[in-house]
Structure formats: C-alpha cells, structure tokens
Amino acid sequence: MIGFYNYTVILTYISLLISVFGMIQAFGGRFRTAILCLALSGLCDMFDGKIARSKKDRTDDEKLFGIQIDSLCDVICFGIFPAMICFLIGVRGPLGSLLTGYYCVCSVIRLAFFNVLETRRQAEEEGANKYYHGLPITSMAVILPVVFLLQSFIPEVAFIVVLHFVLFIVGTLFIVDFKLKKPNNIMLFLLVAVVAAAVLIIIIFSSYKIPKLRFPEMPLWPVIKKLFGVLIYPL
C-alpha cells in the first residue's frame, strides 16, 4: 500500500476520523456531539507533532509525508468542519456564504504557506519550530466551543451575528503574517482545561438545536431517466 502507517501519523488519522464522525452528527442535529468531536480533533492535533518527532530515525519521505498529511487533515478538521457547523447554525444567505467561503480559502492559504515554510525549515534544521506564522488553524477547535457558550446568554440572532464575525476575524488572522510563540506545556494544559470546561458546559446545559436540512425526496431512477432524456433528446 502507498503511504505511511506507523505511530507517527496514526494520531493525525484519528483526528480526521473524529471530525468526519462529528460532521455526520452535526448533519443529524446532534450538535453537542459535533462540538465534542471538534475539541477532540484539536486535542489530537496538539500532540501529533510531538509524537511524530519522537521517532528519531524518520526518513525524509516520512517527514515530508507527515507535513502534507497533517495539513490535508487539518483543512478538513479545522477548516471545513467548523465552517459547516456555522452554516448549520445559521450563517447563511449571501453574506454568510461569502464569509464561509472566505474562511475556507484563508484556511487553505494558511496551510499551504505552512507546508512551504516547514518543508524548507526541516531541510535546514531539526526539531520543532518555536513560532507560528499567523494564527494556527487548530485554534478554531478552541475558539468555536468557547464562543458557543454565548448562545446561553444572548439572543439567537445575536449569536448568529457573532459567528459571522468569528469566521471573518479568525480567517483573517490565519493569513496575517505575525509571529505567535507556540504555547509551552503549561499553556497547553490550560487550553485543554478551558476547552474541556466549555464542552462540558455545552453538553450539560446547551439546548440549542440545529435546524435539520431538508432535501427534496425524489426517487433516483426517474432523475436518471430525465437526465439521459435531456442529453439524448435535447430541446
């Protein structure tokens, strides 16, 4: 099989699987489970780099694969997944669609730029980078659960407006070039504690319901016949 499957990338795969499961839960209206999945994906991402670097005899291919697979999974876990949650909550319409797209594009740009810098850096030096360039995309796994706590204290319309601002501000910070020092172990512990507390409060007290998307029920075969009829006998 192609790819690598050792312990250096397993946590990244697990993070992706958790986010995909969270997306399924969100589409089913089980929003508290979706937020929990987002937080768990963020937790996995906090430590996957440390685990990967613990293998001292990684080949160059393994290192490059780790950079690419981490970013590809991150764009789903912390780019598409949070944007989808915001859409389901109510960030819709022309402005909502524009901001959702803007956030996703900023996510991709930020991760592509990271890949370029990290590939160059690993070719020149060993160890972990001590600074982020721009806000790390994983931060949405901290920001969105904390922001979601507001829905218990402010009207629903105001909460949706806040989500619009969050997508714009966080997306912009992804691509603004500023140096942000990576958190030490104490700071990581505090971040985990804050997110865990936020998720726990959401699970216990949140009553927010995501409106389920309704798709028109139409048998597949008539659709296929109609499509082929148009293709074969165009008007």
Helix%, strand%, coil% for the chain, nearest 5: 75, 5, 25
Quickly list H helices, 54-155. 60-74, 81-89, 93-124, 140-148
Contact 19, 85 (CB under 8 A): no
Joined tokens for residue 218: 């139409």
Residues in the chain: 235
**pLDDT tens readout for residues 193-235:** 888 888 888 777 765 554 444 444 445 556 555 655 554 444 4
CA distance 95 to 138: 24
What are the structural domains of the chain?
Answer: 7-232 (1.20.120.1760)
pTM: 0.81
**pLDDT tens readout for residues 57-74:** 778 788 888 888 999 999
CA nearest neighbour of 143 among 161, 128, 165, 158 = 165
